[in-house]
Chains A and B, each alone.
Chain A
Amino acid sequence: MKRETWGSRAGFIMAAVGSAIGLGNIWRFPYMAFENGGGAFLIPYFFALVTAGIPILILEFSLGHKSKGSAPLTFAKLNKGWEWLGWWQVLISFVIAVYYVVIIGWAISYIGYSFTMAWGDDTTAFFVGDFLGLTDGPFQLGGFRGVIVATTVVAWLISFIVLYAGVKAGIEKANKIFMPLLIVILLIVMIRGITLPGAGDGLEMLFKPDFSKILDGRVWVAAYGQIFFTLSIAFAIMITYSSYLPKKSDIVNNAFMTGLLNCGFSVLSGIAVFSILGYMMHTGGGELPDSLSGVFLAFATIPQAINQLPALQVVIGVLFFLSLTFAGLSSFISINEVLVSSFTDKLNLPRRKVVLGYTIIAGIVSLIFTTGAGLYVLDIADRFVNSFGVAMSGLVEVIIIGWMFKLVTLREHFEPISDFNVGKWWEFTVKIITPVVLGITAIQNFYQEFTTPYGGYGVGPLIAYGWAVALGILIIGIILGKSKWKDAGILEATVEDE
Protein backbone atom coordinates (compact mmCIF):
# COMPACT_ATOMS: atom_id res chain seq x y z
CA MET A 1 0.00 0.00 0.00
CA LYS A 2 1.11 3.55 -0.69
CA ARG A 3 0.58 6.56 1.57
CA GLU A 4 1.14 10.19 0.68
CA THR A 5 3.98 11.95 2.51
CA TRP A 6 4.91 15.53 3.39
CA GLY A 7 7.10 17.26 0.81
CA SER A 8 9.61 18.45 3.39
CA ARG A 9 10.36 18.39 7.08
CA ALA A 10 9.66 22.13 7.27
CA GLY A 11 6.26 21.43 5.73
CA PHE A 12 5.41 18.94 8.46
CA ILE A 13 6.63 21.29 11.22
CA MET A 14 4.59 24.18 9.81
CA ALA A 15 1.48 21.97 9.62
CA ALA A 16 1.96 20.60 13.16
CA VAL A 17 2.67 24.06 14.59
CA GLY A 18 -0.24 25.45 12.57
CA SER A 19 -2.50 22.85 14.11
CA ALA A 20 -1.27 23.57 17.63
CA ILE A 21 -1.49 27.34 17.28
CA GLY A 22 -5.15 28.19 17.45
CA LEU A 23 -7.54 30.68 18.91
CA GLY A 24 -6.67 29.57 22.44
CA ASN A 25 -3.09 30.83 22.08
CA ILE A 26 -4.45 34.31 21.51
CA TRP A 27 -7.41 34.46 23.85
CA ARG A 28 -6.78 31.79 26.52
CA PHE A 29 -3.07 31.67 27.38
CA PRO A 30 -2.61 35.38 28.27
CA TYR A 31 -5.55 35.31 30.68
CA MET A 32 -4.41 32.01 32.22
CA ALA A 33 -1.00 33.52 32.93
CA PHE A 34 -2.53 36.72 34.32
CA GLU A 35 -4.88 34.77 36.61
CA ASN A 36 -2.33 32.24 37.81
CA GLY A 37 0.71 34.12 39.01
CA GLY A 38 1.73 36.30 36.06
CA GLY A 39 5.36 35.67 35.12
CA ALA A 40 5.60 32.99 37.80
CA PHE A 41 2.99 30.96 35.87
CA LEU A 42 5.65 30.43 33.23
CA ILE A 43 7.48 28.10 35.64
CA PRO A 44 4.70 25.44 35.93
CA TYR A 45 3.78 26.12 32.30
CA PHE A 46 7.23 25.26 30.95
CA PHE A 47 7.55 22.41 33.43
CA ALA A 48 4.29 21.00 32.06
CA LEU A 49 5.53 21.48 28.50
CA VAL A 50 8.65 19.40 29.17
CA THR A 51 7.05 16.75 31.38
CA ALA A 52 3.73 16.25 29.56
CA GLY A 53 3.30 18.27 26.37
CA ILE A 54 6.44 17.28 24.52
CA PRO A 55 6.41 13.64 25.80
CA ILE A 56 2.83 13.16 24.53
CA LEU A 57 3.77 14.81 21.23
CA ILE A 58 6.64 12.31 20.95
CA LEU A 59 4.20 9.50 21.79
CA GLU A 60 1.63 10.55 19.18
CA PHE A 61 4.23 11.35 16.51
CA SER A 62 5.81 7.93 16.94
CA LEU A 63 2.43 6.12 16.97
CA GLY A 64 1.37 7.76 13.69
CA HIS A 65 4.77 7.36 12.10
CA LYS A 66 5.06 3.70 13.07
CA SER A 67 1.57 2.66 11.94
CA LYS A 68 1.28 5.01 8.94
CA GLY A 69 -2.43 5.25 9.37
CA SER A 70 -5.26 7.34 10.79
CA ALA A 71 -5.91 7.24 14.54
CA PRO A 72 -8.45 4.34 14.46
CA LEU A 73 -6.13 2.34 12.21
CA THR A 74 -3.17 3.14 14.46
CA PHE A 75 -4.92 1.89 17.58
CA ALA A 76 -6.42 -1.09 15.73
CA LYS A 77 -2.95 -2.11 14.55
CA LEU A 78 -1.71 -2.05 18.15
CA ASN A 79 -4.72 -4.03 19.37
CA LYS A 80 -8.08 -4.49 17.63
CA GLY A 81 -9.75 -3.92 20.98
CA TRP A 82 -8.36 -0.38 21.17
CA GLU A 83 -9.76 0.87 17.86
CA TRP A 84 -12.69 2.57 19.64
CA LEU A 85 -10.24 4.98 21.30
CA GLY A 86 -9.19 6.20 17.85
CA TRP A 87 -12.84 6.69 16.84
CA TRP A 88 -13.64 8.47 20.09
CA GLN A 89 -10.84 10.94 19.33
CA VAL A 90 -12.05 11.28 15.73
CA LEU A 91 -15.55 12.13 16.92
CA ILE A 92 -14.17 14.62 19.44
CA SER A 93 -12.52 16.26 16.44
CA PHE A 94 -15.84 16.26 14.60
CA VAL A 95 -17.64 18.11 17.41
CA ILE A 96 -14.82 20.63 17.69
CA ALA A 97 -14.76 21.14 13.91
CA VAL A 98 -18.46 21.96 13.63
CA TYR A 99 -18.32 24.78 16.19
CA TYR A 100 -14.76 25.95 15.56
CA VAL A 101 -15.63 26.75 11.94
CA VAL A 102 -18.32 29.16 13.09
CA ILE A 103 -15.83 31.11 15.23
CA ILE A 104 -13.58 31.36 12.17
CA GLY A 105 -16.68 32.65 10.36
CA TRP A 106 -17.07 35.32 13.05
CA ALA A 107 -13.42 36.34 12.59
CA ILE A 108 -13.88 36.59 8.82
CA SER A 109 -16.98 38.74 9.37
CA TYR A 110 -15.02 41.03 11.69
CA ILE A 111 -12.28 41.50 9.08
CA GLY A 112 -15.01 43.13 7.00
CA TYR A 113 -16.42 45.09 9.94
CA SER A 114 -12.94 46.45 10.70
CA PHE A 115 -12.95 48.57 7.54
CA THR A 116 -15.79 50.71 8.84
CA MET A 117 -15.49 49.80 12.52
CA ALA A 118 -19.11 48.77 12.19
CA TRP A 119 -19.25 47.64 15.83
CA GLY A 120 -19.74 51.24 16.98
CA ASP A 121 -19.22 52.44 20.54
CA ASP A 122 -20.96 49.62 22.38
CA THR A 123 -18.97 46.68 21.05
CA THR A 124 -20.52 44.09 23.36
CA ALA A 125 -24.05 45.06 22.37
CA PHE A 126 -23.05 44.91 18.70
CA PHE A 127 -21.47 41.47 19.07
CA VAL A 128 -24.25 39.91 21.12
CA GLY A 129 -27.21 41.73 19.59
CA ASP A 130 -26.62 42.98 16.04
CA PHE A 131 -24.15 40.28 15.03
CA LEU A 132 -25.03 37.08 16.92
CA GLY A 133 -28.68 37.95 17.47
CA LEU A 134 -28.38 36.03 20.72
CA THR A 135 -31.70 34.62 21.86
CA ASP A 136 -32.98 34.32 25.44
CA GLY A 137 -31.91 30.71 25.88
CA PRO A 138 -30.16 27.69 24.35
CA PHE A 139 -33.42 26.12 23.11
CA GLN A 140 -34.61 29.26 21.32
CA LEU A 141 -32.73 28.95 18.05
CA GLY A 142 -34.03 32.22 16.63
CA GLY A 143 -33.26 31.45 12.99
CA PHE A 144 -30.04 31.51 10.98
CA ARG A 145 -27.84 34.60 10.96
CA GLY A 146 -27.19 35.42 7.31
CA VAL A 147 -23.70 36.92 7.66
CA ILE A 148 -22.53 34.12 9.94
CA VAL A 149 -23.87 31.44 7.60
CA ALA A 150 -22.07 33.10 4.65
CA THR A 151 -18.69 33.41 6.38
CA THR A 152 -18.98 29.90 7.83
CA VAL A 153 -19.49 28.62 4.28
CA VAL A 154 -16.36 30.54 3.23
CA ALA A 155 -14.35 28.78 5.97
CA TRP A 156 -15.72 25.38 4.86
CA LEU A 157 -14.84 26.19 1.24
CA ILE A 158 -11.24 27.04 2.15
CA SER A 159 -10.94 23.80 4.11
CA PHE A 160 -12.50 21.84 1.24
CA ILE A 161 -10.09 23.27 -1.35
CA VAL A 162 -7.06 22.58 0.86
CA LEU A 163 -8.07 19.04 1.82
CA TYR A 164 -9.17 18.17 -1.71
CA ALA A 165 -5.71 19.07 -3.00
CA GLY A 166 -4.14 16.51 -0.64
CA VAL A 167 -1.47 16.47 2.03
CA LYS A 168 1.49 17.88 0.13
CA ALA A 169 -0.27 20.10 -2.41
CA GLY A 170 -3.00 21.21 -0.01
CA ILE A 171 -2.30 21.09 3.72
CA GLU A 172 1.46 21.64 3.46
CA LYS A 173 1.15 24.47 0.95
CA ALA A 174 -1.62 26.21 2.92
CA ASN A 175 0.39 26.11 6.15
CA LYS A 176 3.47 27.43 4.38
CA ILE A 177 1.36 30.48 3.55
CA PHE A 178 -0.68 30.78 6.77
CA MET A 179 2.13 30.36 9.32
CA PRO A 180 4.64 32.98 8.11
CA LEU A 181 1.77 35.43 7.52
CA LEU A 182 0.42 34.77 11.01
CA ILE A 183 3.78 35.45 12.66
CA VAL A 184 4.33 38.66 10.65
CA ILE A 185 0.82 39.93 11.46
CA LEU A 186 1.23 39.09 15.14
CA LEU A 187 4.56 40.95 15.24
CA ILE A 188 2.98 44.03 13.64
CA VAL A 189 0.08 44.01 16.13
CA MET A 190 2.51 43.40 18.99
CA ILE A 191 4.80 46.27 17.98
CA ARG A 192 1.78 48.56 17.66
CA GLY A 193 0.66 47.38 21.11
CA ILE A 194 3.92 47.90 22.96
CA THR A 195 4.43 51.38 21.49
CA LEU A 196 1.09 52.60 22.92
CA PRO A 197 0.99 54.64 26.13
CA GLY A 198 0.16 52.42 29.09
CA ALA A 199 1.44 49.26 27.39
CA GLY A 200 4.00 48.82 30.18
CA ASP A 201 1.21 48.65 32.77
CA GLY A 202 -0.49 45.88 30.82
CA LEU A 203 2.73 43.92 30.53
CA GLU A 204 3.37 44.48 34.23
CA MET A 205 -0.01 42.81 34.93
CA LEU A 206 0.86 39.88 32.69
CA PHE A 207 4.45 39.23 33.72
CA LYS A 208 4.81 40.52 37.30
CA PRO A 209 5.57 37.29 39.17
CA ASP A 210 3.41 36.26 42.11
CA PHE A 211 5.39 33.37 43.52
CA SER A 212 2.76 32.55 46.14
CA LYS A 213 0.57 31.21 43.32
CA ILE A 214 2.99 28.52 42.28
CA LEU A 215 2.64 26.91 45.69
CA ASP A 216 -1.03 26.35 44.82
CA GLY A 217 -1.62 22.90 43.28
CA ARG A 218 -4.54 24.21 41.22
CA VAL A 219 -2.18 26.50 39.33
CA TRP A 220 -0.07 23.50 38.36
CA VAL A 221 -3.14 21.60 37.19
CA ALA A 222 -4.18 24.70 35.20
CA ALA A 223 -0.72 24.85 33.62
CA TYR A 224 -0.86 21.18 32.61
CA GLY A 225 -4.38 21.69 31.27
CA GLN A 226 -3.30 24.68 29.19
CA ILE A 227 -0.33 22.75 27.75
CA PHE A 228 -2.51 19.75 26.99
CA PHE A 229 -5.18 21.72 25.13
CA THR A 230 -2.80 24.03 23.31
CA LEU A 231 -0.78 21.27 21.62
CA SER A 232 -3.65 19.53 19.78
CA ILE A 233 -2.97 16.29 21.61
CA ALA A 234 -5.48 13.53 22.41
CA PHE A 235 -7.79 14.25 19.56
CA ALA A 236 -5.98 12.32 16.87
CA ILE A 237 -4.48 15.24 14.95
CA MET A 238 -0.82 14.60 15.69
CA ILE A 239 -1.21 10.86 15.03
CA THR A 240 -2.76 11.67 11.66
CA TYR A 241 -0.20 14.29 10.65
CA SER A 242 2.78 12.14 11.65
CA SER A 243 1.39 9.22 9.64
CA TYR A 244 2.36 11.20 6.54
CA LEU A 245 6.02 11.46 7.61
CA PRO A 246 8.46 9.58 5.39
CA LYS A 247 10.12 6.48 6.86
CA LYS A 248 13.37 8.13 7.90
CA SER A 249 11.98 11.09 9.80
CA ASP A 250 13.00 12.63 13.07
CA ILE A 251 10.44 12.34 15.87
CA VAL A 252 11.94 13.82 19.04
CA ASN A 253 13.31 17.08 17.66
CA ASN A 254 10.11 17.63 15.68
CA ALA A 255 8.13 17.32 18.91
CA PHE A 256 10.41 19.82 20.68
CA MET A 257 10.13 22.30 17.79
CA THR A 258 6.35 21.99 17.65
CA GLY A 259 5.94 22.46 21.40
CA LEU A 260 8.39 25.34 21.73
CA LEU A 261 7.15 27.28 18.68
CA ASN A 262 3.56 26.93 19.85
CA CYS A 263 4.40 28.24 23.32
CA GLY A 264 6.58 31.00 21.82
CA PHE A 265 3.57 32.13 19.83
CA SER A 266 1.49 32.16 23.03
CA VAL A 267 4.03 34.39 24.80
CA LEU A 268 4.05 36.87 21.90
CA SER A 269 0.24 36.83 21.81
CA GLY A 270 0.22 37.60 25.52
CA ILE A 271 2.49 40.59 24.95
CA ALA A 272 0.28 41.86 22.11
CA VAL A 273 -3.02 41.40 23.99
CA PHE A 274 -1.90 42.77 27.36
CA SER A 275 -0.09 45.79 25.93
CA ILE A 276 -3.37 46.70 24.21
CA LEU A 277 -5.29 46.08 27.45
CA GLY A 278 -2.76 48.30 29.24
CA TYR A 279 -3.49 51.05 26.75
CA MET A 280 -7.23 50.66 27.36
CA MET A 281 -6.66 51.04 31.10
CA HIS A 282 -4.50 54.07 30.42
CA THR A 283 -7.24 55.80 28.44
CA GLY A 284 -10.04 54.51 30.67
CA GLY A 285 -8.79 55.83 33.99
CA GLY A 286 -7.10 52.63 35.14
CA GLU A 287 -10.16 50.41 34.94
CA LEU A 288 -9.72 46.84 33.67
CA PRO A 289 -11.94 45.92 30.70
CA ASP A 290 -14.80 43.52 31.52
CA SER A 291 -13.67 40.63 29.31
CA LEU A 292 -10.06 39.50 29.32
CA SER A 293 -10.39 36.11 27.65
CA GLY A 294 -12.39 34.01 25.22
CA VAL A 295 -14.75 35.19 22.52
CA PHE A 296 -15.65 38.38 24.38
CA LEU A 297 -11.98 39.42 24.53
CA ALA A 298 -11.67 38.98 20.78
CA PHE A 299 -15.02 40.30 19.60
CA ALA A 300 -15.89 42.92 22.22
CA THR A 301 -12.83 44.09 24.16
CA ILE A 302 -10.38 44.25 21.23
CA PRO A 303 -12.84 46.19 18.98
CA GLN A 304 -13.30 48.58 21.92
CA ALA A 305 -9.51 48.97 22.11
CA ILE A 306 -9.37 49.55 18.35
CA ASN A 307 -11.93 52.37 18.77
CA GLN A 308 -9.58 54.06 21.21
CA LEU A 309 -6.40 53.76 19.13
CA PRO A 310 -4.85 57.08 18.17
CA ALA A 311 -4.08 55.93 14.60
CA LEU A 312 -4.11 52.90 12.26
CA GLN A 313 -7.43 51.68 13.62
CA VAL A 314 -8.54 49.97 10.42
CA VAL A 315 -5.15 48.39 9.79
CA ILE A 316 -4.86 46.96 13.30
CA GLY A 317 -8.49 45.75 13.20
CA VAL A 318 -8.03 43.96 9.91
CA LEU A 319 -4.69 42.45 10.98
CA PHE A 320 -5.98 41.27 14.35
CA PHE A 321 -8.97 39.46 12.85
CA LEU A 322 -6.82 38.12 10.02
CA SER A 323 -4.51 36.63 12.66
CA LEU A 324 -7.52 34.97 14.33
CA THR A 325 -8.66 33.67 10.93
CA PHE A 326 -5.27 32.20 9.98
CA ALA A 327 -4.71 30.72 13.45
CA GLY A 328 -8.18 29.20 13.32
CA LEU A 329 -8.00 27.91 9.76
CA SER A 330 -4.71 26.06 10.21
CA SER A 331 -6.16 24.25 13.24
CA PHE A 332 -9.52 23.68 11.56
CA ILE A 333 -7.91 22.05 8.53
CA SER A 334 -5.94 19.69 10.78
CA ILE A 335 -9.10 18.73 12.68
CA ASN A 336 -10.91 17.97 9.42
CA GLU A 337 -7.96 15.93 8.14
CA VAL A 338 -8.44 13.61 11.12
CA LEU A 339 -11.91 12.68 9.85
CA VAL A 340 -10.97 12.54 6.20
CA SER A 341 -8.03 10.26 6.89
CA SER A 342 -10.02 7.96 9.21
CA PHE A 343 -12.97 7.44 6.87
CA THR A 344 -10.67 7.04 3.86
CA ASP A 345 -8.92 4.20 5.70
CA LYS A 346 -12.09 2.61 7.12
CA LEU A 347 -14.26 2.75 4.00
CA ASN A 348 -11.41 2.28 1.51
CA LEU A 349 -12.79 5.16 -0.54
CA PRO A 350 -10.89 7.69 -2.68
CA ARG A 351 -9.76 10.60 -0.51
CA ARG A 352 -11.50 13.22 -2.64
CA LYS A 353 -14.90 11.55 -2.33
CA VAL A 354 -14.50 11.47 1.45
CA VAL A 355 -13.48 15.15 1.52
CA LEU A 356 -16.60 16.11 -0.44
CA GLY A 357 -18.99 13.93 1.59
CA TYR A 358 -17.50 14.99 4.93
CA THR A 359 -17.57 18.70 4.09
CA ILE A 360 -21.25 18.54 3.12
CA ILE A 361 -22.33 16.56 6.20
CA ALA A 362 -20.22 18.48 8.71
CA GLY A 363 -21.14 21.76 7.02
CA ILE A 364 -24.84 21.06 7.53
CA VAL A 365 -24.31 20.07 11.19
CA SER A 366 -22.32 23.26 11.83
CA LEU A 367 -25.33 25.38 10.84
CA ILE A 368 -26.83 24.98 14.31
CA PHE A 369 -24.04 27.21 15.60
CA THR A 370 -24.98 29.94 13.12
CA THR A 371 -28.39 30.43 14.73
CA GLY A 372 -29.29 32.97 17.38
CA ALA A 373 -28.60 30.30 20.03
CA GLY A 374 -25.22 29.45 18.49
CA LEU A 375 -23.11 30.98 21.24
CA TYR A 376 -24.96 29.06 23.97
CA VAL A 377 -24.71 25.72 22.16
CA LEU A 378 -21.07 26.37 21.29
CA ASP A 379 -20.21 27.32 24.87
CA ILE A 380 -21.78 24.17 26.33
CA ALA A 381 -20.46 21.80 23.65
CA ASP A 382 -16.96 23.28 23.93
CA ARG A 383 -16.92 22.88 27.69
CA PHE A 384 -18.12 19.26 27.65
CA VAL A 385 -16.07 18.05 24.70
CA ASN A 386 -12.91 19.48 26.28
CA SER A 387 -13.56 18.41 29.87
CA PHE A 388 -15.08 15.00 29.19
CA GLY A 389 -13.74 14.34 25.70
CA VAL A 390 -10.21 15.59 25.15
CA ALA A 391 -9.06 15.29 28.77
CA MET A 392 -10.64 11.86 29.28
CA SER A 393 -9.48 10.40 25.97
CA GLY A 394 -5.98 11.69 26.78
CA LEU A 395 -6.14 9.91 30.12
CA VAL A 396 -7.30 6.65 28.51
CA GLU A 397 -4.60 7.00 25.83
CA VAL A 398 -1.71 7.35 28.29
CA ILE A 399 -3.06 4.53 30.48
CA ILE A 400 -3.51 2.14 27.53
CA ILE A 401 -0.27 2.99 25.77
CA GLY A 402 1.73 3.53 28.94
CA TRP A 403 0.56 0.52 30.92
CA MET A 404 -0.96 -2.03 28.54
CA PHE A 405 1.56 -1.69 25.76
CA LYS A 406 5.33 -2.12 25.76
CA LEU A 407 6.31 1.54 25.66
CA VAL A 408 9.93 0.63 25.09
CA THR A 409 9.05 -0.63 21.58
CA LEU A 410 8.01 2.90 20.63
CA ARG A 411 11.24 4.31 22.08
CA GLU A 412 13.16 1.73 20.07
CA HIS A 413 11.26 2.92 17.01
CA PHE A 414 11.91 6.65 17.32
CA GLU A 415 15.36 6.86 18.92
CA PRO A 416 17.40 5.54 15.96
CA ILE A 417 15.71 7.98 13.56
CA SER A 418 15.67 11.07 15.80
CA ASP A 419 18.18 13.92 15.96
CA PHE A 420 18.69 13.30 19.69
CA ASN A 421 17.50 10.83 22.30
CA VAL A 422 15.23 11.35 25.26
CA GLY A 423 16.19 8.49 27.54
CA LYS A 424 14.06 6.77 30.13
CA TRP A 425 12.52 10.00 31.48
CA TRP A 426 10.15 9.90 28.52
CA GLU A 427 8.66 6.61 29.68
CA PHE A 428 8.36 7.97 33.21
CA THR A 429 6.44 11.04 32.03
CA VAL A 430 4.05 9.00 29.88
CA LYS A 431 3.45 6.29 32.48
CA ILE A 432 3.38 8.34 35.68
CA ILE A 433 3.25 12.13 35.38
CA THR A 434 0.66 12.51 32.63
CA PRO A 435 -1.85 9.95 33.96
CA VAL A 436 -1.63 11.47 37.45
CA VAL A 437 -2.19 15.03 36.22
CA LEU A 438 -4.95 14.05 33.81
CA GLY A 439 -6.55 11.88 36.51
CA ILE A 440 -6.64 14.86 38.88
CA THR A 441 -8.06 17.02 36.07
CA ALA A 442 -10.78 14.44 35.37
CA ILE A 443 -11.80 14.24 39.04
CA GLN A 444 -11.79 18.03 39.22
CA ASN A 445 -13.97 18.31 36.09
CA PHE A 446 -16.56 15.80 37.32
CA TYR A 447 -16.63 17.33 40.81
CA GLN A 448 -17.06 20.81 39.40
CA GLU A 449 -19.81 19.79 37.00
CA PHE A 450 -21.83 17.91 39.61
CA THR A 451 -21.48 20.58 42.31
CA THR A 452 -21.83 23.70 40.13
CA PRO A 453 -23.46 23.05 36.74
CA TYR A 454 -21.58 24.89 34.04
CA GLY A 455 -22.27 28.51 33.17
CA GLY A 456 -25.52 28.84 35.06
CA TYR A 457 -27.39 26.97 32.32
CA GLY A 458 -30.39 24.84 33.21
CA VAL A 459 -30.21 21.05 33.40
CA GLY A 460 -31.98 20.64 30.02
CA PRO A 461 -29.41 22.48 27.85
CA LEU A 462 -26.51 20.89 29.73
CA ILE A 463 -27.93 17.44 29.05
CA ALA A 464 -28.89 18.13 25.43
CA TYR A 465 -25.78 19.97 24.25
CA GLY A 466 -23.28 18.77 26.86
CA TRP A 467 -23.73 15.33 28.37
CA ALA A 468 -25.56 13.90 25.33
CA VAL A 469 -22.75 15.05 23.04
CA ALA A 470 -19.94 13.89 25.32
CA LEU A 471 -21.51 10.47 25.95
CA GLY A 472 -22.87 10.15 22.42
CA ILE A 473 -19.48 10.41 20.78
CA LEU A 474 -18.06 7.85 23.19
CA ILE A 475 -20.86 5.36 22.41
CA ILE A 476 -20.66 5.95 18.63
CA GLY A 477 -16.88 5.59 18.90
CA ILE A 478 -17.28 2.18 20.55
CA ILE A 479 -19.77 1.09 17.84
CA LEU A 480 -17.45 2.25 15.03
CA GLY A 481 -14.59 0.44 16.73
CA LYS A 482 -16.53 -2.81 16.45
CA SER A 483 -17.53 -2.31 12.81
CA LYS A 484 -15.64 -4.01 9.97
CA TRP A 485 -12.97 -2.43 7.78
CA LYS A 486 -13.98 -2.35 4.12
CA ASP A 487 -10.56 -3.71 3.27
CA ALA A 488 -9.56 -5.90 6.23
CA GLY A 489 -6.09 -6.28 4.72
CA ILE A 490 -5.29 -2.69 5.72
CA LEU A 491 -4.71 -3.87 9.29
CA GLU A 492 -1.82 -6.09 8.19
CA ALA A 493 -0.59 -4.24 5.11
CA THR A 494 2.93 -2.84 4.84
CA VAL A 495 2.71 0.82 3.93
CA GLU A 496 5.20 2.40 1.56
CA ASP A 497 5.84 6.12 1.05
CA GLU A 498 4.20 7.49 -2.07
Chain B
Amino acid sequence: MSGGAIAFMIFGILLTWGGAAVCISIAMRKRDV
Protein backbone atom coordinates (compact mmCIF):
# COMPACT_ATOMS: atom_id res chain seq x y z
CA MET B 1 0.00 0.00 0.00
CA SER B 2 1.17 3.51 -0.76
CA GLY B 3 1.78 6.08 1.96
CA GLY B 4 -1.23 8.11 0.80
CA ALA B 5 -3.58 5.14 1.06
CA ILE B 6 -2.29 4.22 4.52
CA ALA B 7 -2.60 7.83 5.67
CA PHE B 8 -6.23 8.09 4.54
CA MET B 9 -7.15 4.74 6.04
CA ILE B 10 -5.77 5.87 9.40
CA PHE B 11 -7.43 9.28 8.94
CA GLY B 12 -10.81 7.58 8.42
CA ILE B 13 -10.48 5.29 11.41
CA LEU B 14 -9.13 7.97 13.75
CA LEU B 15 -11.69 10.61 12.84
CA THR B 16 -14.69 8.32 13.32
CA TRP B 17 -13.73 5.97 16.14
CA GLY B 18 -11.48 8.56 17.77
CA GLY B 19 -14.21 11.18 17.53
CA ALA B 20 -16.76 8.77 18.99
CA ALA B 21 -14.37 7.92 21.82
CA VAL B 22 -14.02 11.62 22.67
CA CYS B 23 -17.83 12.04 22.67
CA ILE B 24 -18.29 8.97 24.87
CA SER B 25 -15.68 10.24 27.34
CA ILE B 26 -17.49 13.61 27.50
CA ALA B 27 -20.78 11.79 28.14
CA MET B 28 -19.22 9.70 30.89
CA ARG B 29 -17.76 12.74 32.58
CA LYS B 30 -21.04 14.66 32.42
CA ARG B 31 -23.51 12.00 33.47
CA ASP B 32 -24.23 8.30 33.53
CA VAL B 33 -24.11 6.49 30.21
Residues of A with Cβ closer than 8 Å to B? 8-10, 13, 38-40, 42, 46, 200, 203-204, 206-209, 250, 253, 256-257, 260-261, 263-264, 266-268, 270-271, 419-420
Contact = CB atoms under 8 A, between A and B. Distances in A.
A76 B24 CA distance: 34
Contacts of A257: 20, 23-24, 27
A207 B8 contact: yes
Contacts of B9: 39, 203, 206-207, 267, 271
Nearest to A257: B23
Contact of A38 (B5, B6, B24): B5
A38 B7 CA distance: 12
Contacts of B7: 39
B2 to A, nearest CB: 6
Given A38-B8, A260-B20, 15 more contacts: A10-B33, A13-B33, A42-B8, A42-B15, A203-B1, A204-B5, A207-B1, A207-B9, A209-B5, A250-B31, A256-B20, A260-B19, A270-B12, A419-B30, A419-B31
Majority DSSP secondary structure for residues of B touching A: helix
A209 B27 contact: no
Majority DSSP secondary structure for residues of A touching B: helix
A208 B5 CA distance: 4
A25 to B, nearest CB: 12
Contacts of A38: 5, 8
Given A260-B16, A267-B16, A204 B2 contact: yes
A191 to B, nearest CB: 14
B16 A263 contact: yes
A393 B6 CA distance: 38
B20 A261 contact: yes
Contacts of A209: 4-5, 8
Nearest to A261: B20
A208 B2 contact: yes
Contact of A267 (B12, B24, B27, B32): B12
Given A40-B8, A207-B9, A250-B30, A264 B1 contact: no
A221 B24 CA distance: 30
26 contacts: A9-B27, A9-B31, A13-B33, A38-B8, A39-B8, A39-B11, A200-B1, A204-B2, A206-B9, A207-B1, A207-B4, A209-B4, A209-B5, A250-B31, A253-B23, A253-B27, A253-B30, A256-B19, A257-B20, A264-B13, A264-B17, A264-B20, A266-B16, A419-B26, A419-B27, A419-B30
Contacts of A271: 9
A44 to B, nearest CB: 13
Most buried by A among B4, B5, B8, B13: B8
Contact of A46 (B2, B15, B20, B32): B15
Contacts of A253: 23, 26-27, 30
Nearest to A202: B1
Most buried by B among A42, A253, A264, A271: A264
A472 to B, nearest CB: 38
